[in-house]
């Protein structure tokens, strides 16, 4: 066992590990995983996974969430756990938003509910000129 008598201090500015700890950059990890046969998931694959999970019966989702082995990718396991958890409805809403997109929302912040009719501000002559211009550009 080492004691203070047989320790040799490093000189100032010198380290005992000259090369230092090798960096674990994301690019290195990605290369290791690719060498092991793992590839990045594509956007359409993730969308398909979300929509597939939505379509599964609860028993199958519970099975995926509780499997101990590595049969399913982590995406399936985490999402399945959230679905059967306390915030299951929130997770389903997020899956639908990501899988098929959010529902369109109408916002009326200028007309206060009245119909918007910009053409009523023009005279008959101005409307005729606009119609001629539109017809001319339509044939070009």
Tokens at residue 83, please?
């679905």
Q: What is the pLDDT at residue 16? A: 65
Q: What is the pLDDT at residue 137? A: 79
Radius of gyration of the chain from its Cα atoms, rounded to whole angstroms: 32
Q: Over 80: is that where the pLDDT of 35 sits?
A: yes
Residue 56: alpha-carbon gap to chain centroid: 21
CA distances from 8 to 19, 20, 25 (A): 19, 19, 33
pLDDT digits (tens, 9 = 90+) for 72-126: 888 899 999 999 999 888 988 888 888 888 878 777 666 676 776 677 778 888 8
Query: Domain extents for the chain?
Result: 27-103
Helix (H, G, I), strand (E, B) or coil at 71: coil
Rounded to whole angstroms, how far apart are CA atoms 93 and 99?
A: 10
pLDDT digits (tens, 9 = 90+) for 81-90: 999 999 888 9
Rounded to whole angstroms, how far apart are CA atoms 45 and 6?
A: 60
């Amino acid at each position: 066992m080492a004691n203070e008598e047989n320790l040799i201090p490093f000189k100032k500015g010198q380290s005992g590990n000259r090369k230092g700890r090798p960096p674990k950059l994301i690019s290195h990890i990605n290369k290791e995983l690719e060498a092991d046969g793992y590839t990045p998931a594509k956007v359409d694959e993730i969308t398909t996974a979300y929509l597939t999970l939505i379509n599964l019966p609860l028993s199958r989702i519970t099975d995926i969430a509780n499997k101990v082995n590595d049969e399913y990718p982590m995406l399936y396991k985490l999402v399945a756990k959230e679905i059967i958890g306390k915030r299951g409805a929130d997770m389903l809403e997020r899956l639908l938003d990501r899988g098929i997109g959010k529902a369109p929302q109408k916002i009326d912040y200028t007309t206060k509910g009245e119909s918007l009719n910009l053409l009523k501000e023009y005279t008959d002559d101005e409307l005729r000129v606009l119609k001629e211009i539109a017809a001319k550009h339509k044939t070009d």
